[in-house]
Chains A and B, each alone.
Chain A
């Protein structure tokens, strides 16, 4: 797979640590490209976050919630049958973010930001969601901490993730279907920003990925760094060495930046981010932002962006609602330019094949988002072996960012497994029908 031609001046990455980059800029990317009305709130958030990071009490609170509420550390599971059947024997380890409370990595960021919201005296949080995982996590944290919660979700996504909409409502959140624009994640973010401008006095915008204006990218990463730190310790403990590669899927880039972070300064560990290739990057239906986008500004940050010749955002397409976003976090744009991380697209079909492969070999039902990382890993393992790597001496860690319960309807339709006449709402959503039409 070709590496995109991103001509940027590539400072030597040997010289300085890439860990804990604080922003607001990551190379030429990042910053705050957003309305003046929000600047005071961004400053307040930045100050609160910087103070909290150095406050032992805050650090202890986060640790306690991670351990006793989310269930961290998440396991690192060796996937032996998956390795033997699909990865030419390369040793595959799964970082089990699917086992966290609420079923994905999203909870790490949400608990941290909800604590910050309380510190700022905010009584209301708002969030955007695509797959609904971040919305569910936000609703969960709001319930836990006694905050009001409003979740914006593209109307199209409320249909394809109906189960998660119900889940959020059960948790006490208000879900507002967004009917403007393309009715997906990017428009949900626009609506959340409009809400925030009007209600910034009492409201914290709990952004769900490592994108947005500063301090969001560095802050969201901070709360996810635990993934990479645990994984590094666990692999050393289980195998006595570092992996050859670490892989993750890329939506906005939060689960990826979290696991990459633990290995950024380990020069011999290759890092791979897998973007949603949709129907294929030779079609116009994909979400391969780094592979095919170009620098621009959206939702507060300068980064790679899917845009047309006029700078209008192009709508993305992916079978995975969580990867269906035309932007990407600015730190990834920087890591792509300097060549520290390799970003490649994975198609819907490849992802769904990997989804089924993991179900059948390991008894683990992955999120379709995470299945993109699995598919990319299969490809990478085969390539390494073809290039002469000794399989049993080659190790890849995959960030299994979430569980696939929310995707059962989509997957069942994709694989034609729906009972004729089934009426379960979970498996008769728009997306299920769409998948079935294929």
Chain B
């Protein structure tokens, strides 16, 4: 199996003169089969990279909407190993790059090597690790080399230049630029701090810097796309799935990616 990487998808988007669109959904929300369908709907509506979050008991970087979704997934019996089936289910049906966003303890518990091996086997391209900093990532650096996985670490408006450099140096695929000081959740406007974080990542040598947190609308995608290599949308998609099911997720993805506008024009 040839795995599609986030770096490939970002390069392809760049060649088309647009930022890559990255869409987040929690694994197993509302249940495992639906979470696969919803991710496929993302890919069919212009999302380049799919980010599947592993529901975790103590998600300190998540706001209410994602917390509620992951609580429900766990209540419905989600098990960490289900994420491999979900990843395999998506990669079998789309050409999107599939990443997993996970707090670190579930990976530690399974064993970093074991998790990485199974994840790579399922066709995943890499991990986004919101509570793992490079200082503690020794085991992950090793496993990601061994299984050829992308390592997406985060940088924030509060990151010092030294920390940005250190983080960029160990990242691969892209670097996740947190747009604001806060947790996940849709916001009316994109924080003005975002561009400075992206600039810092580029200055430190990052090829791909993508912006997440607070992004929920097409106009945000366009605004961020002017300076970043990719745009990450989470809460808005989770809320759409919660309220309108798979169809609503597809519709929102189409709107975010601009595909909706295109097809409107074609119809007109």
Q: What is A's interface to B at a CB cutoff of 8 Å?
A: 31-41, 43, 180-181, 186-187, 190, 193-194, 197-201, 296-299, 305, 307, 309-313
Contact = CB atoms under 8 A, between A and B. Distances in A.
Given A35-B131, A36-B178, A198-B181, A309 B109 contact: yes
A36 B106 contact: no
A312 B135 contact: no
A39 B109 contact: no
Interface residues on chain B, size class: 35 or more
Interface string B60-92: 110110010001001000011000000000000
B105 A34 contact: no
Contacts of A198: 181-183
Contacts of A33: 104, 131-133, 136
Contact of A39 (B56, B57, B163): B163
A310 B154 contact: no
Query: Secondary structure at chain A's binding surface: helix, strand, loop or mixed?
Result: mixed
B58 A298 contact: yes
Contact of A296 (B108, B136, B157): B108
A41 B158 contact: yes
A199 B71 CA distance: 25
B113 to A, nearest CB: 15
B105 A296 contact: yes
Contacts of B57: 181, 312-313
A297 B80 contact: no
Contacts of B80: 310-311
B156 interface: yes
B141 interface: no
B159 interface: yes
A296 B131 CA distance: 13
B110 interface: yes
Contact of A40 (B105, B130, B132, B159): B159
Contacts of A197: 60-61, 181-183
A311 B79 CA distance: 10
B242 to A, nearest CB: 16
Contacts of A31: 135-136
Given A40-B158, A186-B58, A311-B80, A297 B178 contact: no
Contacts of B110: 310-311
B178 A34 contact: no
A312 B55 CA distance: 9
Please indicate which of the listed interface residues A39, A305, A307 has the most CB atoms of chain B within 10 Å of its own CB.
A39
Given A310-B80, A311-B105, A311-B108, 9 more contacts: A32-B136, A34-B60, A35-B130, A37-B157, A37-B178, A39-B158, A194-B61, A310-B79, A312-B57
Nearest to A294: B109
A282 B167 CA distance: 44
B58 A39 contact: no
B13 to A, nearest CB: 25
Contacts of B71: 180-181
B106 A312 contact: yes
A34 B60 CA distance: 9
A37 B193 CA distance: 13
Contact of B61 (A32, A35, A187, A201): A35
Contacts of A311: 56, 80, 105-110
Nearest to B79: A310
B167 A36 contact: yes
Contacts of B247: none
A2 to B, nearest CB: 24
A299 B105 CA distance: 11
Contacts of A307: 105, 109
A186 B80 CA distance: 21
Given A181-B58, A312-B57, A200 B136 contact: no
B22 interface: no
B60 A194 contact: yes
B109 A35 contact: no
Nearest to B134: A36
A34 B133 contact: yes
Nearest to B59: A190
